[in-house]
Amino acid sequence: MADLKTIGVIGAGQMGNGIAHVSALAGYDVVLSDISKESLAKGMKAIEHNMARQVGRGQYGQGDMNTALGRIKPTTVLKDHEVADLVIEAATERREIKEQIFRSICEIVPASTFLATNTSSISITRLASVTDRPERFIGLHFMNPVPLMKLVEVIRGLATDQETYETAIEFAGRLEKTTTNAEDYPAFIVNRILVPMINEAVYALYEGVGTVESIDTAMRLGANHPMGPLTLADFIGLDTCLSIMQVLHDGLADTKYRPCPLLVKYVEAGWVGKKVGKGFYDYSGPEPVPTR
């Protein structure tokens, strides 16, 4: 196994800043990049806020937080990843964007650097194929929110070698995560099961089976889910849910994975969930209010 010291994270959104957060607390130096200065600043603010909450709960001391924050280097310059031993891509769930990132990063980092993607649905083998090191490429699908959720799905591409796999397992273990192996099929394990359930909940709303609140209440109290599927969809991001359903529908060619037209409509309207303040609920007031 390789001895990792510096972790590069590309994308400072909710997944990227979460990966940077747990990596820094685990003792790694972190280079966190984003093309947007605003997104980068927002990501660093989220890290500081979430670490402060952990300190408040007694999980870490203030000194641990200060040291971890000092390990994170925020940057808008992709070339700053040249010092990374492992680079994790955590950009938006669009294959073309991810492929362009990996083409660019391969021109910057040494041949020894491992590459990983946090994709929640896209083929690891396909993403690895655009790089110059498919054998050193792996899927590390963290769950949201990263600091709280214990699971990381580890997905090997067709060419992923044993050293890369063992290094990924060691890395996740140091982050105090539990790993599960998933085969490189559309949406892997968690989202293969979870997102079609969310899509079915949107169909239930679309067809008038229940209101937003009644569907969420039914699944919370009737199935003992910690939150309703429409609340969860807002938390994940409706755009991400739609992308995953499209990957499932295209990759498996089964009509049961057809995205609900209402989900498509919400995404077209830009109502993609909590990150923009509106999805199946409006989050602008003191309490979420259903939008339908």
Please give the Cα distance from 9 to 117 (Å, whole number): 10
Annotated active-site residue in 23, 89, 141, 243 = 141
Q: State the DSSP code for 144.
A: S
Kindly give, in sequence order, each residue whose CB lies less than 8 Å from that of residue 25, ignoring residues fewer than 6 positions away: 51, 60, 64, 68
Question: What size, in residues, is the chain?
Answer: 292
User: Which one of 121, 191, 199, 243 is the catalytic residue?
Assistant: 191
State yes or no: is 39 an active-site residue. Answer: no
- The region that residue 88 occupies, defined by phi over 0 for left and psi between -120 and 50 for alpha, beta otherwise, is beta
Active-site choice (23, 33, 118, 120): 120
Distance between CA atoms of residues 138 and 210, nearest Å: 41
Catalytic site residue 249? no
Q: Determine which one of 50, 153, 199, 243 is catalytic.
A: 153
Count of other CB atoms within 10 angstroms of residue 207: 10
Read out DSSP for 150-166?
Answer: -EEEEEE-TT--HHHHH
Which has the closest alpha carbon to 74: 47, 99, 104?
A: 47
Is 120 noted as a catalytic residue in this protein?
yes
Q: Which residues does the annotation mark as catalytic?
A: 120, 141, 153, 191
